Amino acid sequence: QLLARASVGPRGPHEARLYRYASALPLDNRHRWALAREAVTRNKEQGNFRYCGELLTWLVGSMAGSVPDGALVGLQEAIEECDRAKGADKSVPKGEELEMFAQLASSCMSNEDVGQLVTPLIQGLA
């Protein structure tokens, strides 16, 4: 719900960042794969090709054996597109700690804890 509220309005670097963080959360495969695809879409729009290439590579490895090989062809092509863009990131700050965020989110004991962790991201304060 928090991500949906934060995504209202024009797409930009802030929204791409929210999807980077959301896609790092330890969710079941179906939801994580969906968030990863959306994170790739939003971050490609912002020129974050290195991040997208890394996430797509994870996605292919994670999905291999769980989906028909034909379903991975488009992902492989997207990886190649990111490689052609020289793997540069335009709006990913150095030192962004997605894994740390995922660990912190996993340790939240209540919705209030989650809100305290996520609200600064949504408001662009973190």
Say if residue 16's pLDDT is above 70: yes
Say if residue 76's pLDDT is above 80: yes
In this prediction, residue 124 has a pLDDT band, given cuts at 50, 70 and 90, of: low
Say if residue 6's pLDDT is above 70: no
Taking the C-alpha atoms of residue 116 and residue 119, their distance in angstroms, rounded to an integer, is 6
pLDDT score, position 15: 85
* Residue found under tokens 């340790």: 107
Q: Which helix (H) or strand (E) holds 124?
A: none
Rounded to two decimals, the pTM is 0.81
Digit-coded pLDDT (tens) for 48-74 = 999 999 999 999 999 998 988 888 999
Number of Cα atoms under 13 Å in the Cβ half of residue 60: 16
DSSP letter at 84?
H
For residue 17, the one-letter residue type is R
> Does 101 or 36 have the greater pLDDT score?
36
